[in-house]
Amino acid sequence: MKKHNFYAGPSILPQYTIQNTAQAVIDFAGTGLSIMEISHRSKEFTAVIEETQALFKELLNIPDGYSVIFLGGGASLQFAMIPFNLMRKKAAYLNTGEWATKAIKEARFFGEVEVVASSEDRNFSYIPKDFRIPTDADYFHITSNNTIYGTEIRHDMDSPVTLVADMSSDIFSRPVDVSKYGVIYGGAQKNLAPAGVTFVIIRNDILGKTERQIPTMLNYQTHISKGSMFNTPPCLTVFSALQTLKWMKDQGGVQEMAKRNAEKAAILYTEIDRNRLFRGTVAKEDRSVMNICFVMNDEYKDLEKEFLEMASSRGMIGIKGHRSVGGFRASTYNALPRESVEALVEVMKDFEQMKA
């Protein structure tokens, strides 16, 4: 039976990435050695790092004056590295979910944090509007996509101060005007590579402005100056990321990913809105294209377990919603084929015919 992988992260990867990574585990670049055992300073792996950085810049159209670095620690470490490197006195944050909340907590260790707006009052089911970004903040931080609650900021906002974005789960899903951001960062395990590598895109001229001493490993300048090779990078996952970037380029780039993702999301949201058994959980204008959350309508709540069992029997994997929201979540990342979304919709229709 075909499996349809809707996991939120780690999540589906292109078969191209999986197969090439599997081959590199056995024999990397014709060296007779595994990617897991070759020196990160070998000419073969140095070429991987350099090509991965170049494809990041090409696919996202990153302007001059920006660096792309690859680190460990996940996006969670970036919650501290951002204020460590950028906050002098004050930072502003938009609170749209659990990961934004955690980023705010870390920033408060370094100075004043102004939460300009929050959607916590309605369980993070919408993106706040009409907030004011304080001009005396050193930066303004957003989380562009919320995997748990299923909301997304799908535009590149204007900010009077340096804009910082956690794009862990929607990077490469749509074109981004990188020039509007000082920093874009994210864990790779949701749309790019296996868990283990974190990407940071950073505008060089915003660094070196704080007076505090920054530990060597937590200083962005350290990793920029050494080309992500100050210490041993996560070689396997950087290699996998390169394969995904090659696959995306071959498929037509970020524009094509955005087109496909919009089509997949429209198919599933249309069925959620039509099907009498289900309903969406977030404001329609703020619906995520990457993480589609829905629940049973109140009168059918007791059918949730039965639907999950039926979906599982038809090859649907990872659609159980996060415990904070309940219900269901279908993560429709770049590598998820349209056929998987259509298969899920068929299960929903069949279940409705059985029960409604």
What's the confidence (pLDDT) of residue 1? 84
**DSSP secondary structure code for residue 87 in this structure:** -
If asked whether residues 127 and 184 sit together in one domain, one would say: yes
Radius of gyration of the chain (CA): 21
**Which of the residues in the chain have pLDDT under 70?**
none
If asked whether residues 209 and 60 sit together in one domain, one would say: yes
Residue 7 counted as domain residue = no
**Coil/strand/helix, residue 40:** coil
CA distances in angstroms from 273 to 143, 203, 268, 282, 298, listed in the order given = 26, 42, 9, 12, 14
Q: Tell me, what CATH number does 289's domain have?
A: 3.90.1150.10
In terms of residue numbers, what domain contains 338? 254-355
Contact (CB, 8 A) for 145 and 174? no
What's the confidence (pLDDT) of residue 82? 98
What's the confidence (pLDDT) of residue 60? 98
**Coil/strand/helix, residue 278:** strand
**Coil/strand/helix, residue 316:** strand
If asked whether residues 195 and 220 sit together in one domain, one would say: yes
If asked whether residues 275 and 226 sit together in one domain, one would say: no
Residue-by-residue DSSP string for 152-215: E--S----SSEEEEE-TTTTTSS---GGG-SEEEEEGGGTTSSTT-EEEEEEGGGSS---S---
**DSSP secondary structure code for residue 31 in this structure:** S
Residue 9 counted as domain residue = no
What's the confidence (pLDDT) of residue 323? 86
Select from 278, 270, 344, 273 the least CA-distant residue to 312. 344
Alpha helices in 252-337 (DSSP H): 253-274, 304-313
If asked whether residues 266 and 143 sit together in one domain, one would say: no
If asked whether residues 22 and 53 sit together in one domain, one would say: yes
What's the confidence (pLDDT) of residue 324? 81
If asked whether residues 25 and 150 sit together in one domain, one would say: yes
If asked whether residues 233 and 135 sit together in one domain, one would say: yes
Residue positions annotated with a catalytic role = 99, 166, 190
H or E segment to which residue 24 belongs: helix 15-26
What's the confidence (pLDDT) of residue 46? 97
Q: Tell me, what CATH number does 234's domain have?
A: 3.40.640.10
Question: If you search the block for the tokens 């005396």, which residue do you land on?
Answer: 136
If asked whether residues 272 and 148 sit together in one domain, one would say: no
- Say how far apart CA 212 and CA 219 lie, in whole Å: 11
**Domain end among 234, 251, 268:** 251
**Model confidence pLDDT, tens digit, residues 46-76:** 999 999 999 999 999 999 999 999 999 999 9
**Domain end among 251, 280, 301:** 251
Torsion angle, alpha carbons of 323, 328, 334, 338, to 10: 170
**Domain end among 251, 271, 298:** 251
Count how many Cα atoms sit within 13 Å of the Cα of residue 157 in the half-sphere of its side chain. 23
**Model confidence pLDDT, tens digit, residues 153-171:** 999 999 999 999 999 999 9
Residue 76 counted as domain residue = yes
Which tokens hold the place of 189?
């395990």
Residue 277 counted as domain residue = yes
- Say how far apart CA 114 and CA 253 lie, in whole Å: 37
Query: What is the count of structural domains for the chain?
Result: 2
If asked whether residues 50 and 180 sit together in one domain, one would say: yes
What's the confidence (pLDDT) of residue 355? 85
pTM over 0.85: yes
